[in-house]
């Protein structure tokens, strides 16, 4: 078993193991590697948080109701990006469309 990164009491580790669609083999009953999901999806820990999607308006973009999303507020939004913002005090996830030169 391989470990990636330093142990952190707040870090949750996922384990990757082959998953067969047929009959299981006793020889394959081992964990292949340890996966630190935090190090894979978070580039800027101090400005990153998670959110859960409520609603179906972003399904065409591949974001479904109840999906967990990673939000990095240090990234400058650009036209066409999928962004999380607030409208009337409510967080929403939408595709950013910038009109004009503002």
Catalytic residue among 73, 94, 97, 102: 94
Q: Which two tokens stand for residue 30?
A: 């081992």
Say which DSSP state 57 is in: T
Q: Give the integer Cα–Cα distance in Å for 85 and 73.
A: 10
94 among known catalytic residues: yes
39 among known catalytic residues: no
Q: How far is CA 8 from each of CA 12, 16, 35, rounded to the nearest angstrom?
A: 8, 19, 13
Q: Give the integer Cα–Cα distance in Å for 96 and 66.
A: 21
Q: Give the integer Cα–Cα distance in Å for 35 and 83.
A: 27
Catalytic residue among 57, 97, 101, 102: 57
Which residues participate in catalysis according to the annotation?
A: 57, 94
């Amino acid at each position: 078993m391989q470990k990636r990164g330093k142990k952190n009491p707040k870090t949750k580790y996922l384990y990757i193991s082959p998953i067969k669609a047929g009959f299981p083999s006793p020889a394959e009953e081992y964990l292949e590697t340890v996966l630190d999901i935090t190090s894979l999806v978070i580039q800027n820990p101090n400005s990153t948080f998670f959110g859960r999607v409520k609603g179906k308006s972003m399904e065409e973009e591949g974001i479904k109701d109840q999906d967990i999303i990673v939000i990095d507020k240090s990234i400058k939004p650009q036209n066409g990006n999928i962004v999380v913002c607030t409208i009337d005090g409510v967080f929403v996830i939408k595709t950013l469309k910038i009109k004009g030169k503002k």
